[in-house]
Structure 1
Amino acid sequence: MNILIADDERAIREGIKRTINRIYPEYGVELAEGAEAAAKLMGEKQYDIVLTDILMPGMNGLEFMRISKRRFPRVKWVVISAHSEFAYAQEAVRLGARDYLLKPIGKTRLQEIISTLAAEVREESELTKEEELLRANLKYLREGVFQRLASGLDIGNLDLTPFIEDYQSFYLMMVQMDAGDKDVRLEHFIVENVLSELIERHGRGFVVSYDRQSLLGLIAPREPERIERFQEEVKAHLQHYLKVPFQIVHSGLNNDFQSVPQVVMRMKQASNSPVALLDPPKGSGEKAIEVALQYIKEHYNEELSLEKVASIVFLNPAYFSQLFKQKVGLGYKEYVTSLRLEQAKQLLLNPKLKVGEIAEYLGYQDIRHFAQMFRKKYHVTPNEYRQQQKINILLASGGKPSK
């Protein structure tokens, strides 16, 4: 019986381990100081029971459960919470947690839970071991064949008929992470689980690892015309969970399995090259820039890195930058700065707003930098502009400026 305990409080996780080891010395118990560390361990070893704190720095216990349950459906989950977090514990039970432990954790209560879950694990193990082994072998065989096919490798005499019959039309989606030399096993785990869960929610398909920083998903959605919704959900979930930059490239509708190697090669090029595209339909670049411009206008006072906006319209950042300048006539950064400074002019007409408040609202943490940018564009400081506009309004109303 393998048990994993994830809790950011050292005294609690080590106390639970001591109690379990004393009562069940034959059980293997491992510790993780957070959800990220626990997720890595689960990717390396099979666990039967996972006890996780709910509120931890970074990924919390509920998020940890959500991204792990599909990949590890047999794991028995127990959540640990304080009395003030009881509502979270109830939500965890709704998500599939088998039980919960309230702090301070009683030894008798802990023994009861572990005993009950261990008995369930043993019973289920006998019933499903052969079935799961067969299912896993078929799954890995199918995905292994597709992975070789997608990579352009020889698949020998293997018959593709089952694929062709199951997926007469399908989409391919590649998620590529940009993490440099960083170990991205956790990120791989997250992407695989997010893609798999959303594919299951929207239709049929599966996910394979393409290389160290890329994963490839195949999806046959129930409603092909709503593939954009699927893409938006993938992007939103990954933006929430991933801590490294990523790009999403999709293929459009396919109906020929023989063409998969060529399509995947072009997808890979599209994620690496500033100019490669997947034969986009005429006008798709213009549409992407229209969407980007609308988003920028609605969120001009938020963080607007080029990478973020490019991901929103599913374009490679370098290509997006090139296309943006071509269509708009200004570089991306120059355009965003200009838009913010135009908004600053409007805000300066409100005498109740201080210059520092306007600068902060527009995303400038340094008021001096804001003033420099404003003066560079309009040749006056924000305060001078405000005074000029006050005089202009007074003269337009027939009054005289005070000396």
Structure 2
Amino acid sequence: MFNLLVVDDEKFAVKGITQGIDWSDLPFMHIYEAFSTEEAKQLMISHKIDVMISDIEMPDASGLKLLEWVKEQSPLTETIFLTGHANFTYAQKAIGLGSFDYLLKPVNHDQLKEIVRKAVHKIQSELELLDYNKTYETYYKHWLDQLPFLVERFWQDVLNGKIPSTQERLQTGFQIYSIPLNAQSQVIPVLISVEQWKEELNARDEEIMEYALRKAGAEMILQDVPGCVIPDQSGFILVLLYIQSGTPISLELNRRCAEYIQACNRFFHCNLSCYIGEMTPVTEIHQVLGTLLGMERNNVTKINCVMNLQTREEQQGSLPSFPLISDWFLLFELGKLNELLGRIHETTDRMQEGGVRSESLEALYYGLIHMVYHVAHKKGLSIQKMFPHDELQDIATATRSLNQLRGWAIRIVSAAIEYMDMHHQDVSAVIAKVQKYMDDHLHEEVNREDIAAFVYLNPAYLSRLFKKETGLSISEYMLSIRMDKAKKLLIESGNKISNVAEVTGYGHFSHFAKMFKRVTGISPQEYRKKFQINKSP
């Protein structure tokens, strides 16, 4: 609802407008009257006035002076002037000061009402626009606050294949999320893999520490270079450095990563390694990430190291890493058949265009064999049962030509994924083996590296696999079974609490007591006493 003010030093002129015109069909809540400019100012100070009808010639001050004051105090008020003189100078000044319209006396009431109606419509439109702008500003601020998270999600979708790595789709994403790149830009990726937490962490603490690692990575690896730090769903951290015109080619990444590793060792109590990729077009980020994942997967001997593509050949493993297919492992493990078949066609088409030798066919063949054995081992599945007719051993036929290799690869991954879908297990044989090992060595101070060595897996990879299948980290599971054992001994035996600590793998009584209270909320002594009280007749 709106308010109307009529100003004129002639009382009958004011009453003729306020009472002589039927204002009921316009949205006015109040219609005020003023007989001087000072009285009009007082009314405007105490009330919100939306439309003002004013005479220009008044004894105390002109309506033009009043309009100047109104524009300063109430800029949204629309003013309509009335005058008994057809003086163009007045009209020119009124328009220059921003009045809505100008009428000569005697006033035609119908004409005046129509002008007021238009003024109200203009105010309504301006208020709607103002509300829209305020709403837009509010949501725009929320969007800006969420922008870092949105950029992370965008890159995750690109890396996971949810957004195709085409120039058109990437360019659209860069524009939407204000990423300072274009479809022809290049990036340098750095993969960070946490190998060991030196202190036992629960899920919440580990998540907090991983956040701290990402923030430190942005400060120490990116520094003054534009880029972002992305948490990967597999537990890795990926740093992307945006290469722009003027960015120095020599970024001393090896030194930056080495200093980052030292800082993380000291302040975050963890071991980790950095794997540095080459300068890569954004449209080929999948391939270089697959290469870095392959480097990490095959690093079974070194910790707290910096590796780049030049040092890749120094890595050891039961089978060599093949950059072309290293990013297929996760798709195969997750049973993403269509995506994997697309990668097979894409890779073999690229090999066809670039020319291929027999050595390349054999490399791809053995890479696929390695992938199948690796994932089957993780899932505790029998290769003999998966391929009862020795389909994996037909190297002579499979590598006779690129087309034959493509057909063989499609048959192998299709059959393997179908078999894995039919023989899904809640907990794989490998994880069951790990759990039994921890149960058997409960009294010893075993660490993640000991457990990983027992099942011949990389420690970082084992941690991700264990958490994925059980919902708990290795340290959380070990703490759980130790505490269950301790509670049982406290209840059922008369052993000293220090002996209970030793039996459950704690060399220091104080550490045992601290961990026991963290889990149960009370000390071991209080726990035993409480049980005895509850059991007393």
Please give the TM-score of this superposition, normalised by the length of structure 2. Answer: 0.25
Q: Tell which has more relative contact order, 1 or 2 (C-alpha 8 A, sep 6+).
A: 1
Asked which structure has the greater CA Rg, the reply is 2
Please give the TM-score of this superposition, normalised by the length of structure 1. Answer: 0.31
